[in-house]
Amino acid sequence: MKEPDIDLFDSSLEGGHIDRLERRVIVIENPRKSGMADFPFRSDTTISLIVRSGSMACLVDMTVHQITVPGMLVILPTQTVEKIAFSEDFTGYGLILSPDFLANFPMENKIPTIAEIRRHGFYPMDGQELDAVCNLLKMIQGVLGAPGKYQHETVTYLILAYYYGLGTYLHDTGENRNGTSRNEQIAYRFMELVRENCTVHRDMEFYADALCLSAKHVNHAVRTVTDINAMKWIERYTVLRAKGLLKTTALPVSEISDRLNFPTPSDFGKYFKKFTGLSPKAFRKA
């Protein structure tokens, strides 16, 4: 086993046609699950899955996406993928971008778009929006299939156009979401904080202080929106992070325990078994 890289998600997919720009950009036409990668896993890559026809299911950060209409699912770095499946009649694309490719991306104002994507994940599309996305990906395929002197630059600017188009689409659809309640705002922000900090902080006081609210207020908002109390979400994300490390790395259990900030490997083992029914070593072998 190895640390996640651009090929981790790629290794779980196969397709009718796959084009690559080194280890930076991968375009997969009509992706299918290959079963080569262990789930769950976290990738440092940014992944777009475009559904043209058929259906797919994906479990990302404990959110189930049952997709039966055309559109786009975006999976960001640090998010955890637990399952993925495609229908027999699925058609579409997968676009995988490495972190070093995006690090030098000439695009401003990315943060609002990223926050919006993390909150919603899947975006239904039809007509012109879907055609525009698919046409851009076909153009990227064409460039990757015919190496030339300015291949990298051409692909960069085509993907730049893709992201600006995505940003415009999110902005337009976001105008219809201004009715978000205060409880929803608190719950969404709480979940973001847990995803970012559950390896270090598993106490409600930290999250309540970060939100400048009482722990009771935060728990009420989270429970109202999700039907699950806030501590349960902290526990779920901690276990999910542990599962990802156990399945996709060769790290000793003791080091995983350290990474997740448990006092001892024994404490980690008891915590993990409490929620999964298995010891870390038994889960890794399963």
Per-residue pLDDT of the chain (286 residues; tens, 9 = 90+): 333 334 445 566 777 788 988 888 999 999 887 665 556 777 778 888 999 999 999 888 878 888 999 988 888 877 788 888 899 999 999 999 888 888 777 665 554 455 556 666 788 887 788 888 899 999 999 999 887 788 988 998 898 887 777 666 655 554 444 456 888 889 888 988 998 899 999 999 999 999 999 999 999 999 998 888 999 999 988 998 898 888 878 899 999 999 999 999 999 999 999 999 999 999 998 8
Instruction: Measure the CA–CA gap between 132 and 127, rounded to whole angstroms.
Output: 9
Give the pLDDT confidence score for residue 228 in this predicted structure.
87
Give the pLDDT confidence score for residue 65 in this predicted structure.
84
Provide the 3-class DSSP secondary structure of residue 228. Answer: coil
Tell me the sheet residues that pair with 60. Answer: 63, 81
Order of strands, sheet of 17-21, starting from the edge strand that comes earlier in the sequence: 17-21, 25-29, 91-97, 46-53, 71-75, 122-124
- The distance in angstroms from the start CA to the end CA of the chain is 14
Neighbours of 211 (CB within 10 A): 17
Give the pLDDT confidence score for residue 201 in this predicted structure.
94
CATH topology of domain 6-177: Jelly Rolls (2.60.120)
60-to-73, 164, 191, 278, 286 alpha-carbon distances in Å: 10, 24, 13, 22, 21
Question: Which top CATH class is 182-285?
Answer: mainly alpha
Which two structure tokens, joined as six digits, stand for 156? Answer: 């960069």
Give the pLDDT confidence score for residue 78 in this predicted structure.
72
256-to-39, 65, 138 alpha-carbon distances in Å: 17, 29, 41
Q: Is 88 exposed, middle or buried (0-12, 13-18, 19+ CB in 10 A)?
A: exposed
Give the pLDDT confidence score for residue 116 in this predicted structure.
59
Q: Does the CA dihedral 177-120-276-199 come out positive or negative?
A: negative
* Domain-wise residue ranges, the chain: 6-177, 182-285
**Residue 106: half-sphere exposure toward Cβ, Cα within 13 Å:** 8
pTM metric for this prediction? 0.69
